[in-house]
Structure formats: structure tokens, C-alpha cells
Amino acid sequence: MSASFDALDNPFWACLATRHAHVARGGTLARRYPPDISPIAALSGDSPAHVAALETLVEAGDDMGTLGPWIPKLGRNWEIVHEAEVTQMLRAERTPLSEGPAEAAGLGPNDVAEMLSLVELTQPGPFRRRTIELGRFIGIREEGRLVAMAGERSWIGDCREVSGVCTHPDAQGRGHARKLIARVVNRMLRAGETPFLHTESGNARAIALYESLGFVERRRFPLLAAKRVE
């Protein structure tokens, strides 16, 4: 990939140190979002000092998740919740996607309770009460019920992350995710942004969908989610 995408090599650190610095907690070694926005944290290196800096940002009983080139080696005061490999995909292609017919609408603060319920059911990744402050989200309703959504999360230079893509099990197989991703991607393209995203490497179905929409694998990262127990 082009050198202009180098900041994506440590994506959440790059975002928390620039575009989202206004909400970030931490300093030059470790940063994180406030817990009610996201559990995501990031490190600028892998020394013991970096891990110590991260620990100051996570209280006992709180959790955090990080992916990137540096995954902290945590001590006994942490409980590992989840480990995986994540594939980062980029859509450098500038051709707009076909959006197809769908009644998609913007989602806002009044929709958060339904969004949280859908996330709890489908587990697309971390989503908290204030996550919608990180970007625009859209959704599809059937008979008044929110059944699918997609939106934006990290923002690095002119690269914008597609995130929160999920569909209720009762509404799968109808192309909702494809239509919503197309709308999110096309909005980014109109703004001169390059879409990218992250998905677990073992999620072959999601990867096939993203590839069909023009995303290509850029690189892979380890993912760690952990809870501080003391």
C-alpha cells in the first residue's frame, strides 16, 4: 500500500493522538477513550513503561481492548477476556458503490438504547453509550424495530473507519449490511476520505462481503481484550 497509509500501522494510537485527541485520556505512552465512549486503548510502544502508563488509565473492574503492533504483556491483576487476530482492510478504489433500495435513516441519541440491544445480540465489536459521538451511524428498521446498522469510528488523516456493522438474526440474508456499508462508504468518498475497517480474521463471511465491496487486506494485528481485576 501507499506510504500515505503508514499511520494505519498503529491505527487507534494514530487516531487517539490526532483526530480524537480531544476525547482521549493519557499521554505520550498510552491513550484510551473514556469508558462510556469505547474500551479501546492504544500504546506507542511495548516497554514496561508503556504498560504501566496503560494501567493508570484502567481502574479495577474496568476493561479495555487494544489491537495494533504492540499488545501489552499484562500482569496477574488482569483477566484476559478475548484474544484474536484482526484483519485490517482498506478500500483505495474511488468508485462509488451501488446503494440499492432501502429505507436507511440516521441514528442519534434517541436510538442508543436500541443500538446497544442490537450490538449485545450480534457482537460486532465494542459499542458503548457515547460511541455515536465518534461518527455518523445509519440504520434500517422493519415494522419500527431497528434490525441493522453501520457507522464510523476511528479517523486517521483522510482515512475513516467503517464500524458497528451488524444485522439482527431475524433480518439476515436480505442485504441490509451491504446496503448500509455502501451508504457509509459513499459518504466517505464524497468527503474525500478513504474507507477502512477491521474484522476478526476468522470471520470468513464478513471478509467475503467486504472484498465484494472493494476492500482489500492491508495487514493483520493481534487483538487483546482484558479486564482489570485489582
State CA 68 to chain mean position distance: 13
Contact between 63 and 56 (Cβ < 8 Å): no
Q: Are residues 63 and 174 in the same domain?
A: no
Q: Are residues 31 and 137 in the same domain?
A: no
Integer-rounded Cα radius of gyration of the chain? 17
Q: Are residues 96 and 196 in the same domain?
A: yes
Q: Are residues 68 and 99 in the same domain?
A: no
Residue pLDDT tens, the chain, 230 long: 444 799 999 999 999 999 999 999 999 999 999 999 999 999 999 999 999 999 999 999 999 999 999 999 999 999 999 999 999 999 999 999 999 887 899 999 999 999 999 999 999 999 999 999 999 999 999 999 999 999 999 999 999 999 999 999 999 999 999 999 999 999 999 999 999 999 999 999 999 999 999 999 999 999 999 999 98
Q: Are residues 156 and 74 in the same domain?
A: no
C-alpha cell at 57: 488509565
Distance, in Å, from the CA atom of 47 to the CA atom of 41, rounded to the nearest integer, reads 16
Question: Quick one: pLDDT at residue 47?
Answer: 96
Distance, in Å, from the CA atom of 171 to the CA atom of 102, rounded to the nearest integer, reads 13
Q: Are residues 82 and 102 in the same domain?
A: no
Distance, in Å, from the CA atom of 190 to the CA atom of 200, rounded to the nearest integer, reads 28
Question: Quick one: pLDDT at residue 103?
Answer: 86
Q: Are residues 93 and 189 in the same domain?
A: yes
Q: Are residues 105 and 170 in the same domain?
A: yes
Residues 6+ apart with CB under 8 A from 213: 91, 97, 178, 181, 182, 185
H or E stretch at 198: strand 194-200
Q: Are residues 45 and 106 in the same domain?
A: no
Domain of residue 58 covers 3-86+223-228
HSE, side-chain direction, 13 A CA sphere, residue 102: 24
Q: Are residues 25 and 68 in the same domain?
A: yes
Q: Are residues 97 and 182 in the same domain?
A: yes
